[in-house]
Structure formats: C-alpha cells, structure tokens
Amino acid sequence: MHEKLILVHSNFQTPFFLDYTLKLKIFDDYAVLESLNRYFLKKKICSKIASAGDLLFLDIDCNVEDIEEVIQMKRGPAGRLSGELEQIWHNYRTVRRELHIPRGKLILRTGFPLLMGILNITPDSFYDGGRFFDKDRAIEHAFQLQEEGADIIDIGGQSTRPGSTQISAEEEIDRVIPVLMNLKGKLRIPVSIDTYYAKVARIALENGAELINDNSALTMDKEEMLKVVTDFNVPVVLMHYHKTLQPMQTEPEYKDVLYEIACWLKERAHVLTSNKIAAQRIILDPGIGFGKLLENNVEIFYKLDALRSLGFPILVGPSRKSFIGAINKELSPQDRLSGTIASCIVSLLKGAMIIRVHDVKKIKDALEVVSAILSGT
C-alpha cells in the first residue's frame, strides 16, 4: 500500500477560472483504487488505474462539478475519499495567503506572485558568480533589486550549482554577514537567508534577515535548524532535491516525479508542524534543476499547480537554469532571459506565489502585463 495522496492539477492553463477540466490523481492500495474506479465510471467520469513501476494510482479527468459532487458523498467508495478531497480542493482553490515576518506580513496571491531577487555573494554561482562577491558591490546590488521591484531579497554565500565545492559555515558567515549588517534597517523589503547551515541562519536572523530559504529542507542541519526556526518564529522555504545536494545528482530516476516531490515535501512540512512550527510559516519549492532531468523539469512546470493541493504557498526558481538552455539550445546562462521570462509566466499561470529570479525588473514588467490581461484590468 502506498501513502494516500491526492493531487489536483488543471489542463486549462490559468488559476483564474474554475470551470475547466481537471486531472485528479489518487494514490492508494489497489482494492481502494478499483472500488473508486468503478464508482467514477458509473458516474460517467473518465478514470483509469495506471502505474509507474510499482506505483499505482487512479487517474481521473473531471470538472469542478464532479469533484464537488464527490465531496458531498458520505457513503460508499466515495465516502473514504470525501473528507480528504474536500480539504485538498480547499487547498487548491485558496488564492490568498498571509506570510508573517518579524516586521509585519507579506500577502501572497495566485496570479500576482512576489518576486524574490537573488543576491549571490559567491565566486562560483552558475550565472552571477563573482559579480557581487565584493561586499560593497553586493550592498549596492541589494538596493538595486529593491528599486527594480523585488518583494524579497534572497542572500546566499554558497553555490549549489552542479560541480560546486561545499564551504564551511564559517566561510559562509564571512561572506554574507558583513553585507547583512550594512543592510539592516535600511531596506524597505525583507531579506531571506539562503543557507542550510543553522549557525549561518541564526546569525543572519540576528542581523536583520526575516526568512530562511533552506535548499536542503532542513535535512542537512536537522535539529539545529529546527531550533533556529522555532526560536525566531520566521517563515522557512523547504526545497526538494534528489538524494544529494553536493555533489548534485545528475542522473536521477523518478517513477512519478510530481508524486515523489509532493510526498517528500509533505513529509518535510510534517516534520516542522509536528515540532510546533505553524503551517502558515512554511513555503514549498519543487527544486527546479536540483537532481532533475529536462523532462522532469518540464513535467514539474506543466503540473506545478498540483503542489497547491498540499496547502502551502509554492515558490519556484527557474531563473536562467540549464533546462532553459536545453530547450533553447543556449549554452550560456547569459542567453537564457527569454526562457526565464516564459518559465515565470507559466509559474504565474500555475499558481506559484513566489518566484525567485535574477532579473527582477524585466520579469516584473512581463508578469504585470500577464496579470493585467488575465484579470481584465
């Protein structure tokens, strides 16, 4: 028996309307799937039992009315599904969330994602490595990102690109803390610290950071990072990666990439909530490019809205990554802006609430046009 998990995603490419065809996936043991399949077919709803390796699931094409009808069923095969589907459907349809930070709150909405501007204080990041390694240039760029329209600035001192070398917490502190100290109290927007080291996160939060972006999803420093999140009561981004961060796995294997990402992120979020960290402080990131092949990244974008079923805001970070180059045949990250903009537009359409980017102004301009067109204003 597999863990029961329901994922909903839309075949129609916008979260602004609810009268579209949906794909519903239910993962469970075969007897339950067979019973539910008979129920849906009796209702003339297209469904089939499918598999990916030994992973069984029920794949359903339906519409809003179908789901809401099943939610009302309290007896029979659908009765086992009704309560959980009701919560999943509520999660999927939620279009506004509040993210509380020390200085107030950030409003997160589908259709109007916040932009997290990237500030890498590293010599070896894949796109901007070395450009802001100097403290003064890093400080200047932080203010530039703010003026370009960033809603959050994500500061990191360690590259996690394929082939990068892991550095110590002490070296990371030497890179990021002087910059944070010079920005403290001077920016209008919050700063996120991009680290998997609890020691770095703690000192960064003491020096003005208001969010933690842990691309290990609290698996690298585990108990210590949990204590930091609890002590400072700040939001935390949990990012999915495949088996190892450094060295990053370059030939990963998935049976069903969205299912496996969803299960992993759900489990990581449960670790936090079971340690009395409020669900309202958790953000999920599918980890574009972190141990994913081109086809995995494409499928993640196509079904990105399925992760909304888990009930947490979704952050996505496509900026200038290699999957764009693989599609456009652009070897250099310098030539991947147009693909990045396209990826950000898809992220907006699929309901991402935060998008992490290098090119804040250009992407903000593009997303404002898309949002205005879709909302009719």
Strand 191-194 to strand 211-214: parallel, antiparallel, or no bridges (unpaired)? parallel
Catalytic annotation, pick one of 321, 336, 350, 364: 321
DSSP 229-270: HHHHT--EEEE--SS-TTTTPSS---SSHHHHHHHHHHHHHH
CB 172 within 8 A of CB 158: yes
Distance CA(206)–CA(184), nearest Å, equals 10
CB 234 within 8 A of CB 280: no
Give the DSSP H or E segment for 188: none
Going by the DSSP 8-state scheme, the letter that residue 20 receives in this structure is S
**What six digits make up the tokens of 19?**
């009268």
Q: Clarify whether 161 is annotated catalytic.
A: no
Catalytic annotation, pick one of 281, 336, 356, 364: 356
CB 5 within 8 A of CB 259: yes
Angle, CA of 33, 35 and 36, to the nearest 5°: 65
CB 88 within 8 A of CB 262: no
Query: Please, which contacts does 327-330 make with residues 24 or more away whose CB atoms are closer than 8 Å?
Result: 327/294, 327/298
Q: Clarify whether 105 is annotated catalytic.
A: no
Question: Shortest CA distance to 316 belongs to which of 275, 288, 289?
Answer: 288
Distance CA(82)–CA(316), nearest Å, equals 30
Counts of helices then strands in the chain (DSSP H, E) = 12, 14
- What does each C-alpha distance from 211 to 132, 204, 296 come to in angstroms? 21, 9, 28
Q: What are phi and psi of 113, to 5 degrees?
A: -65, 145
Question: Shortest CA distance to 15 belongs to which of 303, 351, 345, 313?
Answer: 351
- The gap between the terminal CA atoms of the chain, to the nearest Å, is 49
Residues designated catalytic: 321, 356
